[in-house]
Chain A
């Protein structure tokens, strides 16, 4: 007897439909699984056997062959357990096979027959809807997450037994009550906690408003990381589509338990990270930090300490908003639309600019500058120095709060969206030279100052464009139709300086 059940493999971050076919023949008892499964799939035979026994069913003492089709697709992980077990039950006529036709099944089994929490349910649900299936059986913990996809009846079951009962016609259990995600409830860091740091806060707001990448420079312990952590709190709220994409990716990576992720991601990988850890990869390609930061913030602390190869790997993601990972003969595309925020010490000892503490000579400063320079620095529109707040500032009231800043950012984004509608860019930070020429308008005095700055060599050709983009964002924040002299000067003082400027210009 032959049974057929739909399930889904997760390929990178995308669901791919897989048919589980189970065939039972008379013969010596044997259970084989074919179809390019990995070790976890091979081991699932033993889990399934125990789970079936412990759920009060009979494991057929005959020859069982299971196939995971299509056979060319590599199947990874224990998520096929539930489909295989139900296939065995259907093939041995312990559950009705025809009722399985409308279902997709996903989940890992324990030996006791429970359906274990399995990452990636949202992606599976999306696949099931796309495949036109009406019902989806997932582990109970993942039911809420899968139910985020509309047009699909999600059945969250605690065990194989419960799944079999649903198939034989009993009422499916209701969706579990929403679990309060501790992380979502825990107050997000807010700008209202920040004392002092007037200039960095301004830079933060400009960066968030225009989607500009931002570089913090400052001595250890001045608050660079603290400030960076607060950027997601002033970015506009995610759209539902964005939130679902973020939830899907985080679910696949096993970083997220229940419900929809509302807060924009903030990822801060350690500087020892490898290129494939950063942009994705591995024998079975998995999304990297750049993809986990999609629609959020990727924060690189101690930028000078990262391997050159890791930073170089970020070029394509920054340029294209996605990264293509090629493994074997297959290419996977991961989305990487993130805002890049980096922090660095100003010099090897870290204390340049702080009183007389720095003992670095020109040679050290140059070496440090070389470590920083390169294609990544070129993508940084803003550079801001973070200084230790003064005692007076620590005692004074906070400069702003995230809610206020978020309103201003949203307002500035609205102006950009209006101006840039119909073009490839969606914020000032994404404008290329052509868009800058078309959209950026300066007042006469600002025009002259920009020309002067270029003339005296304070700006490179590329730096000039960066300054114009940033100045446009500042004008948007302040509600100016043209960039004023003041807007331009603020942009100039936050300009990213080349290596020559990071050290002594001699």
Chain B
């Protein structure tokens, strides 16, 4: 068990947790607020409880704080420690302590070689989910660590894709690294921690507040060598992450979308503003390492059986199932059988509403 948080930093992490409920009022300027020292922070947001919190901080037994992290199975590292990820030091308000589920050594190793963040909307389209998933899968199988926030939608799809690609992935969580947020992602959290890591700025047992999301986003942006936004609405947090990445001098990329889709407004805007076009893992690798410097170790490309090609093509063109079957000239019997064969072969995926999409 790694316990590499100094007293001062451990106390700082405790204080953030203690003031968690106060910080929501200033979540618009959370970057500046988090950059404040302990006393200034208390002064700024402590409110009526200022005095009592100060007393508690004075009387704080840091060993208790450490014991809690230990009990939750979390490694800790603080910004005074050499093992602290140097990438985070670029932040104006770097997190005092990182709590790590899955092991500190593993985290350090995973993020040492140009990790890529894939972020996007919680309300993603089936297309966006497929893009995030295949990007995660492709990059992970080329040995790139995927960093994301384990939120519903794009984030989860990116993690799931990375796991499918046989790679490890890092989830940066808003409140507590030992517990899944959102809770429905318990299974995903378990799988991520088994081979990768989950990281948080706040200690175990902290409940989730809204300011923690932009705060978490800054960690994602700083950790990743490149941040790719897949789908994001106009006011999505993913755009915030992209902005923060630019702020710390990291390149951003975006997957192009249809101009009429609301979820594509964000990435299309980023592209207009000069972000890299990301059409697939290839684009990301080329941008990070120079064109062709590192070949995409893509999964062996499997060919669908010839008799299924027409149906696969019709689905790829975006036709609904019945129309796709008609285009491929298949009756209901052979058509349903062909769909099952494509699905089991991993060529298509059945989404909500029974709509099939081609696995990219």
Contacts and interface: CB of A to CB of B under 8 A. Distances in A.
A352 interface: yes
A354 B318 CA distance: 11
B350 A362 contact: no
Contacts of A490: 333, 336-337, 340
B159 interface: yes
Interface stretch (B100-108, B201-209, B284-292, B321-329): B321-329
Contacts of A452: 344
Give the top 7 A-B pairs by smallest Cβ distance, nearest first: A353-B353, A385-B354, A361-B123, A352-B353, A353-B355, A489-B337, A346-B353
Given A198-B331, A458-B343, 7 more contacts: A202-B336, A347-B353, A352-B355, A353-B353, A390-B326, A393-B326, A504-B351
- Interface of chain B: mostly helix, strand, loop or mixed: helix
A362 B332 contact: no
Contact of A353 (B320, B326, B343): B320
Contacts of A218: 353-354
Given A218-B354, A352-B352, A390-B326, A199 B321 contact: yes
A495 to B, nearest CB: 8
Contact of B352 (A389, A494, A502): A502
Contacts of B343: 458, 492-493
A489 to B, nearest CB: 4
A353 B333 contact: no
Nearest to B133: A506
Nearest to A383: B354
Contacts of B341: 489
B354 A346 contact: yes
Interface in B148-168: 152-153, 156-157, 159-160
Contacts of B336: 199, 202, 489-490, 493-494
A453 interface: yes
A347 B126 CA distance: 13
Interface string A180-205: 00000000000000001111011000
Given A199-B332, A201-B332, A490-B333, A503 B352 contact: yes
A489 B340 contact: yes
A199 B322 contact: yes
Interface string A480-502: 00000010011011100100011
A140 B335 CA distance: 57
Given A354-B353, A361-B122, A506-B156, A202 B333 contact: yes
A393 B343 CA distance: 25
Given A359-B123, A449-B344, A489-B336, A366 B353 contact: no
Nearest to A390: B323
A361 B152 contact: yes
Contacts of A201: 332
Contacts of B352: 346-347, 352-353, 358, 360, 365, 502-504
B195 interface: no
A384 B336 CA distance: 10
Interface string A212-239: 0000011100000000000000000000
B129 interface: yes
Interface string A333-364: 00000000000001100011110101111110
Interface in B288-343: 320-323, 325-326, 331-341, 343
A456 interface: yes
A362 B355 contact: no
B322 A356 contact: no
A103 B354 CA distance: 62
Interface string A366-401: 100000000000000000110101101100000100
A453 B353 contact: no
Contacts of B52: none
B42 interface: no
Contacts of A199: 321-322, 325, 332, 335-336
Nearest to B320: A387
Contact of A493 (B122, B258, B337, B355): B337
B221 interface: no
B112 interface: no
B160 A506 contact: yes
B71 interface: no
A196 B322 contact: yes
Contact of A198 (B124, B125, B325): B325
Interface string A428-444: 00000000000000000
Most buried by A among B260, B333, B340, B352: B352
Nearest to A205: B332
A501 B323 CA distance: 23
B184 interface: yes
B129 A504 contact: yes
Nearest to A500: B187
Interface string B254-275: 0000101110000000000000
B353 A493 contact: no
B188 interface: yes
Contact of A456 (B258, B333, B334, B344): B344
Interface in A298-348: 346-347
Contacts of B156: 362, 504, 506
B197 to A, nearest CB: 18
Nearest to A497: B350
Contacts of A363: 122, 152, 182
Contact of B353 (A197, A198, A351, A497): A351
Contacts of A486: 333-334, 337
Contacts of A389: 322
Contacts of B152: 361-363, 366
A399 B160 CA distance: 41
A242 B123 CA distance: 51
B121 to A, nearest CB: 8
Contacts of B351: 352-353, 504
A217 B353 contact: yes
B353 A219 contact: yes
29 contacts: A198-B322, A198-B331, A199-B322, A219-B353, A352-B355, A354-B353, A356-B260, A358-B352, A359-B262, A360-B123, A361-B122, A362-B156, A363-B182, A387-B322, A389-B322, A390-B322, A456-B346, A458-B343, A486-B337, A489-B337, A489-B338, A489-B340, A490-B340, A492-B340, A492-B344, A493-B340, A497-B350, A501-B350, A504-B156
